[in-house]
Structure 1
Amino acid sequence: MSAALAALLDPAHTPDRPVAGYIGADVPVELLTAAGYLPLRLAGSPHEDAAEGRRLLGGGLDPVACSVLTRLLAGAYGPLEVLVVSRDCEASLRLFYVLRELRRVEPETALPPVHLVDVLHLPHRTTTRYVWAKVRGLRAWLAERAGRPAGDDDLAAAVVTHDRVRGLLRAAGALRAERRLTGTEYLGVVAASTSLPADRSATLLAALLDELPDRDPRPGHPVYLTGSSHDSPDVYATLEGAGLLVVGEDHDHGDLLSRTDVGMPAGPAGLDLALAERYQHNGPAAPRASIAERAAHTAAGVRSRAAAALLGYVREHDDAPAWDWSAQRAAAGVPAALLEHQPYGAVDPAGLDRALAELRTPAVAA
């Protein structure tokens, strides 16, 4: 492992500022940084018992949300000054309501103040105005919690730095077409970028990009992964341990997180609007985009990463990705296999054996 990659994947990072936990890729992290917080994206853990989260959230819900709630109640993320939840899916929305109610009825529970940011993704100016209002509302709420407003200079600097991180992640992702990173490694790199200060992430990512071109290609049958998101490396490690190499994906814990930038507007008055437009048009994520958008995006990813096959992975109680599968498979034009109703953080062995055989079978032209 290269020195830069080892530094990025090192979990022993001590926060140097108050931590703002956030849930979902629709949270404008630039506002958290500008307010003086360290943004920390909260991930679940398939290795820990999530019974308490299931009890509070109810059955039939994506197990990631149950795991995050259980870990929050156990203090697994360390001290959080604030918590921001995006409405990126129905599980996140239900999680927000439960957190808000717990703070109301059980004030002794060690939960931070929580705020919902509702970002819509329709391609309309009315949607932009709605999201713009939500961005301004989050900015005002953070100023109240931090005890000071985040000035335009602070926000402009945060936008520049986070855009730089996204650009570096895209550059690292592009090198996966040359097999310079495994999918498991890239997932760890993205996770590090959501837990480190943005300027530190940029420094480490730049060092990684200096080293990657000289790295020997990673082995494995190159596949593009679609379906549910992955907030832990377990599924990727299983797939790559079985002889695959994940060269790209269309979920927001991977390539999709860094697809678009904010960009600097002509003047500081446009910063909130620029943020609103970036998060409105970010995607296309399975719960919020059309089937046609998802199919076109996935097919483009298969081509750009020189993937030899398309693999769909759909976690139990995560219904949206399965709706896109038929169109994605048809658009990709490569051998394809679907793993449905998979346990959180795992792959059914029998299903994996079947998928491996299908992924190496030549696609039949429509």
Structure 2
Amino acid sequence: MLPDRNDAVARWRADGRPVAGYVGADVPVELLTAAGLLPLRLTGSPDEDASAGRERLGGGLDAVACSVLTRLLEGAYGHLDVLVLSRDCEASLRLFYVLREIRRVEPSIALPPLHLVDVLHLPHHTTTRYVLAKVRQFRSWLEAVAGQRIGDDDLAAAIAAHDRVRGLLREVGTHRGERRLTGTEALSLVSVTTAMPVDEAEKLVQEVLSTLPGGEPRPGRPVYLTGSSHDTPAVYQALEDAGRLIVGEDHDWGDLLAVADVGAPTELALAERYQFAGPAAPRASIAERAAHTAAALRERGAESLLSYVRRHDDAPPWDFPAQREAAGVPATLVDRQEYGSIDLAGVPR
């Protein structure tokens, strides 16, 4: 039984320590940890009314961003000392601009200091220099709002700790290929690790790995999931209740979150890790996505490919034809789905 995401945050706050809410996998969480902040990745909630966020963000935007904004406006995440967003997709970028404007014109709404980390993903040295400048800018901003210097030793320790967690999560992925845990369990585990101190996350994943059941593999037809990201397990649970077993995925709440380590205790290594952090749908070429998806699918032994796409998430459908061709297994696109749900009628048995 995994702990609730809110438990570790509540314990951290009870000790009077600061919390950093963040949106997007391009935020260098190592710097948050090194600054003495708890990195809390913000999730939406498909079961809650998100009309307040939708009204401010406008139509035609992924429902996750609308939900996150609504929850921020309603104080659902508790007190946040800072709020950091990345430019991992158009929805995150628009969310940042709207939050910045709210802070400017509506001071009665209590929002914390806000920062955008603009990580680009082109494979060029000039891009690396740009991302490095943004990493250094983020470090300086954190030092200013925290009122203390982030030492090189603190950064090195944080990098090493987060790399250890990523390595353990890759082990979890290996066991998924062996069908020793479900996709719902794996997704829930990743989610919990993004809401607790990195040392506690490391212990939790070690405990999960040490207690994985042996014997018969988990039941279900093994399927590899692509398309939109999933910050809640609702769609995974629906698919697995219907007889599928999600053995892997290529979104950044799942396998992509742990795809690469920083490896060295430097700002440059940190910048390169996030620049080359994996081919997510909003920021990679169609060819890169297809090659990555096909290789990961084969590694996990999936028998089919399923592309699940939420309404107003425009990038994944462009990838699907090339992914289908590269995968070499039966492939299905389930498009225009509502946040947190799936029309199983469109998924082959």
Which category describes the TM-score, using the shorter chain as reference length? Answer: over 0.9
Alignment match, 1:74: 74
Which aligned pairs between 1:239-318 and structure 2 lie closer than 5 A? 239-265=239-265, 271-318=266-313
Contact 2:5-2:196 within 8 A present in 1 as well: no
Q: 1:291 & 1:229 partners in 2: Cα distance?
A: 17
**Pair 1:340-2:328 in alignment:** no
Q: TM-score, normalised by structure 1?
A: 0.92
Select between 324-333 and 205-214 the one with higher mean Cα deviation.
205-214
Residue identity (%):
68
Who is 1:364 aligned against? Answer: none
How far is 1:317 from its partner? 0.1
d(CA) in 2 for partners of 1:12 and 1:308?
A: 37
For 1:26 and 1:215, the matched residues in 2 are separated by 38
TM-score (norm 2): 0.97
Q: SS of the counterpart of 1:214?
A: coil
| 2:90 corresponds to 1:90 | yes
Q: Could you give the per-residue CA deviations for residues 254-274 of structure 1, whole angstroms, max 9, x where no partner exists?
A: 000000000125xxxxx1111
1:320 correspondence with 2:315: yes
CA distances 1:103-140 after superposition (whole Å, capped 9, x unpaired): 01011111111100000000000000000000000000
Distance 1:276 1:202 in 2: 23
* Counterparts of 2:327 and 2:58, CA distance in 1: 37
Residue 178 in structure 1 maps to residue 178 in structure 2: yes
Q: Please give the per-residue CA displacement for 1:166-205, whole angstroms capped at 9, x wherever unaligned.
A: 0000001110011111111111000011001000000111
Q: Which residue in the other structure is 1:360 paired with?
A: none
Distance 1:227 1:354 in 2: 15
The residue aligned with 1:150 is 150
Quickly say closer, same or farther: Cα 1:10–1:68, change in 2 above 3 A: closer
Query: CA contact under 8 A between 1:143 and 1:149: conserved in structure 2?
Result: yes
How far off its partner does 1:283 sit? 1.4
Going from structure 1 to structure 2, the CA distance change for 1:216 and 1:80 (only over 3 Å counts) comes to farther
Q: Which residue of 1 aligns with 2:201?
A: 201
Query: Corresponding residue for 1:121?
Result: 121
- Equivalent residue, structure 1, for 2:54: 54
- Superposition map of 1:3-22 within 5 A: 6-8=1-3, 11-13=6-8, 14-16=10-12, 17-22=17-22
Q: Comparing 214-223 with 252-261, which one deviates more in the overlay?
A: 214-223
Distance in 1 between residues matched to 2:224 and 2:24, nearest whole Å: 22
SS in 2 for 1:212: coil
Alpha-carbon distance in structure 1 between the residues aligned to 2:215 and 2:259 = 24
CA-CA distance at 1:10 after TM superposition? 6.3
Runs (4+) off by over 3 Å: 7-11
Cα distance change on mapping 1:94 and 1:10 into 2, 3 Å = closer
Flag the 1:75–1:330 CA change in 2: closer, same or farther, 3 A. Answer: same
What is the identity, as a one-letter code, of the residue corresponding to 1:147?
Answer: G
Q: CA deviation at 1:246?
A: 0.4
CA distance in 2, matches of 1:12, 1:139: 28
Paired residues of 1:21 and 1:84 also in contact (CA < 8 A): yes
User: 1:286·1:294 contact (CA, 8 Å) conserved in 2?
Assistant: yes
C-alpha displacement at 1:12, in angstroms? 2.7
- Alpha-carbon offset, residue 15 of structure 1: 3.7
Segments of 5+ residues of structure 2 without an aligned counterpart are: none
Contact 1:43/1:68, CA 8 A, preserved across alignment: yes
- List gaps (5 residues or longer) in structure 1: 1-5, 266-270, 358-366
Contact 1:8 1:204 in 2 (8 A): no
